[in-house]
Structure 1
Amino acid sequence: MKRRDFFKTALMSVSTFVAAREAFAAACKVGAAPAGKKVAKNKSRLDYVLNAADAKGNKKYKAGSTCANCKWYKKAKETGGYAPCPMMANKYVSACGWCKSWKKA
């Protein structure tokens, strides 16, 4: 592989990654909380935030981790982008949210 081809491939890979990350960030919008449901408060003892992008300052946060891809998020009971979480006393959390109890599903 020529040096020029290597750099073209590397640049295309980086730009694809950046575009995919921006598309995910744009796709994850925090909507209105479901009416009549107990909703977790922002900044609980588990450092819960409504939008995972706000958790970047937390040392346990890993890029791409959200409540939607967490083991504890009860997707079967999801209502309008919110679902109950046993780590938050079964209060509803945002699919775009994050807390330090996050575990890969």
Structure 2
Amino acid sequence: MKTSRRTFLITSVGVASTFALGSRAAFADAPKVEESDPTAQALGYKLDASKVDKAKFPKYAAGQDCGNCQFYQGKAADAFAPCPMFANKLVASKGWCSAYAKKA
């Protein structure tokens, strides 16, 4: 059976969309990082960036939060999204940790 290019492309887009939606749904079920988590404590993670101990983490500057960090794997408008620093657990968009790196 010969497949046309159009059929191949339509099928490919459908399959890719299914995987994208499926992985997004999997992240929705991922646990949120708790501040008591050992990795969170080691990285100084706070659910609310305004509560970062500036004496302990002098690298922190106002305006830095997970939503504008290069590691945040969601849109800035998402309240929570996966972060590779926390094994893809969900971090708060308004959160912060010492691994913060400004999104390019």
TM-score, normalised with respect to structure 1: 0.59
What root-mean-square deviation, in Å, do the aligned CA atoms of Structure 1 and Structure 2 show?
2.3
- The answer on 1:74 being equivalent to 2:67 is no
Where structure 2 has 5 or more consecutive residues not aligned to the other structure, the ranges are 1-26
Matched pairs, number: 71
Runs of 4+ in 1 over 3 A off after TM superposition: none
What amino acid sits opposite 2:93 in the alignment? A
Are the equivalent residues in 1 in contact too, given 2:67–2:77 (CA < 8 A)? Answer: no
- Show the counterpart of 2:46: 49
What amino acid sits opposite 1:41 in the alignment? E
Q: Secondary structure at the match of 2:43?
A: coil
Where structure 1 has 5 or more consecutive residues not aligned to the other structure, the ranges are 1-33
Deviations 1:70-97 (A, max 9, x none): 0000015x89510000011111000000
TM-score, normalised with respect to structure 2: 0.60
Q: Distance in 1 between matches of 2:64 and 2:78?
A: 19
- Show the counterpart of 2:61: 62
- The answer on 1:94 being equivalent to 2:92 is yes
Deviations 1:5-32 (A, max 9, x none): xxxxxxxxxxxxxxxxxxxxxxxxxxxx
> Larger Cα Rg: Structure 1 or Structure 2?
2
